[in-house]
Amino acid sequence: MSNSKSELTKHLVEFTETSATYEDLVVLTPRLPYEGNWGYLGQAAWKRDGPTAPPRGFILMAAEGSDALGDIVDWEPVLRSVEPTPFTTWRGVTRDPKYVCGGDFFKLGTEKPTAAETAGIRAIRRDLVSEVKPENLVWSCRLPFDTLSIYDVAVVTGVVIPTGAFVSTTAPSGINYETIPVLRVE
């Protein structure tokens, strides 16, 4: 098992850049520093006027020569809605199975996310994270033929810390949602 302290620099930051809004859902990204090869594991979701403050999450930079962070090479749709306002959620695909995508991507419209929209989103090597089922329902929306629910991880155990990213599911109860990577504390 690798030592993430020597492979990754991590900074907890507020996600302040609005990527999309839909009804009372706000999807945010961090402002990445200009210097260095910083990345993040996925957008953060926040329910406007909800019980929690706007989200914070981690930006990450791999040490020189480290392969701790990988690329997202494609995006697969999770849910497409065309009514009343078109939006989609997407899950990242990695080139190598030793990496995992950190979270899903929400955007208005039905086209696949562009490189400009997903700039800075990275995959992370699986041995540097634990994968957990997210327990915190951030937002849910009934649609004409489906339901979209967005979950993240809110509980910090001291052994792992949430990245700020979310996963989406079409199951209203969250039964079918995926796991989400959380950073190991070392």
Check residue 51 and give its pLDDT.
Answer: 73
What pLDDT tens digit does each residue of the chain (186 aa) get?
455 568 999 999 999 999 999 999 999 999 998 788 899 999 999 999 877 777 899 999 999 999 999 999 999 999 888 877 899 999 999 999 999 999 999 999 999 999 999 999 999 999 999 988 888 889 988 877 778 889 998 876 778 888 989 999 886 555 556 788 899 876
Q: From the CA atom positions of the chain, what is the Rg in Å?
A: 16
**Is the Cβ–Cβ distance between 101 and 123 less than 8 Å?**
yes
- Residue 163: burial class (beta carbons within 10 Å; 0-12, 13-18, 19+): buried
- In the chain, the amino acid numbered 162 is P
* Segment (H or E) for 44: strand 44-47
What are the φ/ψ torsions at residue 7 (nearest 5 degrees)? -100, -25
* Segment (H or E) for 5: helix 4-7
Q: In what order do the strands lie in the sheet with 56-62?
A: 8-14, 56-62, 39-40
